[in-house]
Structure 1
Amino acid sequence: MSLDHSPRPDAIAEARRQSEICNACRYCEGYCDVFPAMFRERVFSDGDITQLANLCHNCRGCYYACQYTEPHEFALNIPAALANVRAESWERYAWPSAVGGLFQKSGAAIAAGLVLGIAALFFTIAALGQSEGAGFYAHLSHTAMVAIFAPAFLFPVLALAIGVRRFWAEIGGGAIRWADIREAARRTATMKNLSGGQGQGCNFENGDRFSNARRHAHQAVLWGFLLCFASTASGTILHYVLDMPAPYGFFSLPKLLGVPGGILLSVGAAGLATLKLKADPQLGATRRWGGEMAFTLLLGFTGLSGLLLYAATGTGLVAPLLALHLGAVLTLFLLTPYSKMAHGAYRFAALVRDAQARR
């Protein structure tokens, strides 16, 4: 039996209606990548709307510049219309499909339950087991960590790959060139689409006032996550390639990458959560607000718990903090395909498709 991955008619139809009006007006032609892509089309297929939705960064500048928002009879709200399509596209292509929308409905409860449950499991394993390692490995052996985290890392990679493949087929993506990937990577690194149409920032949290706060918070989270990942990768190389097992001193590569990464991740996530509380929920996917906030808080807690664990080295707090940190990391990995973390993969694919369309 084939699975139905078609968009919900109400969300896609409303986004199409609004896009057709925007395409006739074209006042926002100088704004983010959504509008040049929109204005290249004459008729919008479902795939076109999904592509536009995943190009949108919800900066909301177009809404405050638009003359056709409510109380006008057109009642345009492009940020919300595209946000609904975008969130539903992530749920639709999630694998396994049955859990696609589960996190969005009960994100906070699921994240908290998983973190505490996995932390309790780790704490129990550490208490019952015997480990002869040093540092963190004195509480949980290296073998146990690898046995648990290797599958937990590979699963979301596989799930996201399946989802992005489905997404790529819907938006009509073709053969990929390195030039397309480079252009998408450049726009991802600079987060150009969060700078607004006039380059002054976006209007996410301050209404019609421009701000770069969201762009900076996103960049902190992005680079913090990459630094933490690089820290783990460097530790793996030191352990397996150079035969230099942990623990590592502060001036080692894992710590020089991991500590700044944890700080950036914690500060960036706190900034995003604060800005989300200030923003108008009616300009986003309102039914996903709780899931998105839960993911942001989980991301911040992952960075913060890692910093607290490092600060507690040599004290009696290491065992419980290690269990909590590993619980947060494992939860973050497992929920990646179903939380807003997935937006990184889908948005990058949308930017690659847009680079193809531009040439």
Structure 2
Amino acid sequence: MTAQLPEPRQPDAAGAALELIPVLNVEEREVDRQMRICNACRYCEGFCAVFPAMTRRLEFGKADIHYLANLCHNCGACLHACQYAQPHEFAVNVPQAMAKVRGQTYAEYAWPAFFGRLYRHNGTYVATALAVALSLFLLLTLFVNGTLLPGRLAGNFYAVFPHNTLALMFGSVFAAAALALAVAVRRFWRSASPAETLAQPAKGAVFEASSAALTLKYLDGGHGQGCNNADDRYTLWRRRFHHFTFYGFMLCFAATVVATGYHYLLGQQAPYPLLSAPVLLGTLGGIGLVVGPAGLLALNLRRAPEQGDVAQRPMDRAFILLLLLVSVTGLALLGLRDTAAMAILLAIHLGTVMALFITLPYGKFAHGLFRSAALLKFAIEKRRPNELGLGGE
């Protein structure tokens, strides 16, 4: 008699579903633990968007954790108000736990995926990109121009680098960076909001999210007094320096767009007069990009180690220093454009700008886009019925 072999066991629907649930890593489990404690306490519910969003959940999956982590602005108010922070045995530190997961978000959703590893050694990556870009433009200066005599240049940037060459080089790199960022944020959005689309957003959600992002609403600590930085004192300077940086960057971008219009639509070639729109916009933007990054760097150097993830500080500082280099070299080029130093300053400035463009998708710049996506999800979510009936907004 032949023995009857048991048929292979087929997993039931529940077992199959469990196999599809992503396993949380150490940092994600720590956020899950702390959010469960916070969900029972609710003292910080009015501080920022994180806690009202938290109250809509009893459990925190991987997508929820990354969404909440990017919703956090790391203002530090909840840490200094928390009765369960160290030395309490619960050791709750929401800003630090969220910051560690945010760093993973940038790497996990990066596109192409294998470039995500650049976040781990971002300081070295930025330094290498800067060195290569600077060397490239310095060599191109010598090759194209052949000499640095001021009489031949007379403030004409295109005597050093032809306009079409610059447009092709920077346009290609910027387009590639924009594509990489767009795909990364789209992947994050689809993961965090699988049932939510922008096709029919809740009324006013886009406006609310845009306003919160542009005004940095959640850097006020939930009470209008600002962030905690080095100690228990509140300061609004982190918010102000972020504004200088962001709007300085946007003014410089506007200057480039206007100059492009002058060139192609009006047939006017650089150099432009000091009181022209491109120069005025670029000057104001450059000043903003000096004041903002310099202030953020000073705050970063003094920030208490429990505020955020110290492992990410090299990435933060590399991005800040790169912005400073772009602005300082740009202002120096404007001031000395009619001197013998113009060609070399132009090469240095273009090298720093190229390094900035190359590193945009895989550095600190990405945090603004991920955070904006999280703010949009929060704005949509809060307009929907709270099925758990928990908390308030």
State the TM bucket, normalised to the shorter chain: over 0.9
Q: Give the C-alpha shift of residue 214 in structure 1.
A: 0.2
Give the aligned partner of residue 251 of structure 1.
275
Equivalent residue in structure 2 for 1:284, among 308, 315, 327: 308
Answer whether contact 1:104 1:339 (CA < 8 A) is retained. Answer: no
Q: Give the C-alpha shift of residue 285 in structure 1.
A: 1.7
Aligned CA distance change for structure 1 residues 191 and 301 (closer, same or farther; 3 Å): same
| 2:318 paired with 1:310 | no
2-structure distance, mates of 1:246, 1:59: 43
* SS of equivalent to 1:100: helix
Task: Render the CA deviation track for 1:186-242: whole Å, top value 9, x for unaligned.
Answer: 111211100012111111x23211100100000000100000000000011111112
Question: Which deviates more, 300-309 or 224-233?
Answer: 300-309
Equivalent residue in structure 1 for 2:53, among 10, 28, 37: 37
Aligned residue type for 2:197:
A
Equivalent residue in structure 2 for 1:112, among 127, 131, 145: 127
Q: Give the C-alpha shift of residue 98 in structure 1.
A: 1.5
Task: Render the CA deviation track for 1:259-291: whole Å, top value 9, x for unaligned.
Answer: 010110111001101000110123212221111
Give the aligned partner of residue 144 of structure 2.
129
Answer whether contact 1:116 1:324 (CA < 8 A) is retained. Answer: no
Give the aligned partner of residue 113 of structure 2.
97
Give the aligned partner of residue 234 of structure 2.
210
2-structure distance, mates of 1:224, 1:26: 38
* SS of equivalent to 2:58: coil
Q: Give the C-alpha shift of residue 245 in structure 1.
A: 1.5
Matches within 5 A, 1:185-200: 185-200=210-225
Question: Which deviates more, 214-223 or 132-141?
Answer: 132-141
Q: Give the C-alpha shift of residue 246 in structure 1.
A: 1.2
Q: Give the C-alpha shift of residue 7 in structure 1.
A: 7.6
Equivalent residue in structure 2 for 1:49, among 65, 69, 72: 65
Matches within 5 A, 1:119-158: 119-130=134-145, 135-158=156-179
Return 5+ residue gaps in structure 2 as ranges: 1-19, 147-151, 384-393
Aligned CA distance change for structure 1 residues 294 and 150 (closer, same or farther; 3 Å): same
Answer whether contact 1:104 1:290 (CA < 8 A) is retained. Answer: no
Q: Give the C-alpha shift of residue 104 in structure 1.
A: 3.5
Aligned residue type for 1:40:
R
Aligned CA distance change for structure 1 residues 6 and 292 (closer, same or farther; 3 Å): farther
2-structure distance, mates of 1:154, 1:7: 35
2-structure distance, mates of 1:299, 1:5: 40
2-structure distance, mates of 1:6, 1:160: 24
* SS of equivalent to 2:315: helix
Q: Give the C-alpha shift of residue 137 in structure 1.
A: 1.0
Answer whether contact 1:115 1:324 (CA < 8 A) is retained. Answer: no
Q: Which has the larger radius of gyration?
A: 2
Q: Give the C-alpha shift of residue 31 in structure 1.
A: 0.1
Give the aligned partner of residue 76 of structure 1.
92
* SS of equivalent to 2:181: helix
1-structure distance, mates of 2:173, 2:141: 19
2-structure distance, mates of 1:283, 1:80: 6
| 2:257 paired with 1:233 | yes
Aligned residues, how many?
354
* SS of equivalent to 1:218: helix
Give the aligned partner of residue 38 of structure 2.
22
Aligned residue type for 1:120:
S
TM-score (norm 2): 0.86
Aligned CA distance change for structure 1 residues 7 and 302 (closer, same or farther; 3 Å): farther
Equivalent residue in structure 1 for 2:197, among 171, 175, 181: 175
Aligned CA distance change for structure 1 residues 283 and 147 (closer, same or farther; 3 Å): same
2-structure distance, mates of 1:55, 1:5: 22
* SS of equivalent to 2:227: coil
Aligned CA distance change for structure 1 residues 31 and 300 (closer, same or farther; 3 Å): same
Give the aligned partner of residue 269 of structure 1.
293
Answer whether contact 1:180 1:352 (CA < 8 A) is retained. Answer: yes
Q: Give the C-alpha shift of residue 41 in structure 1.
A: 1.7
Give the aligned partner of residue 243 of structure 2.
219
Answer whether contact 2:111 2:183 (CA < 8 A) is retained. Answer: yes
Give the aligned partner of residue 376 of structure 2.
352
Give the aligned partner of residue 390 of structure 2.
none
What is the identity percentage for the equivalent residue pairs of Structure 1 and Structure 2? 43
Q: Give the C-alpha shift of residue 123 in structure 1.
A: 2.0
Aligned CA distance change for structure 1 residues 163 and 59 (closer, same or farther; 3 Å): same
Aligned CA distance change for structure 1 residues 143 and 251 (closer, same or farther; 3 Å): same
2-structure distance, mates of 1:108, 1:308: 25
2-structure distance, mates of 1:47, 1:8: 10
Q: Give the C-alpha shift of residue 130 in structure 1.
A: 4.9
2-structure distance, mates of 1:5, 1:261: 46
Q: Give the C-alpha shift of residue 292 in structure 1.
A: 1.4
TM-score (norm 1): 0.94
Answer whether contact 2:71 2:374 (CA < 8 A) is retained. Answer: yes
1-structure distance, mates of 2:161, 2:346: 9
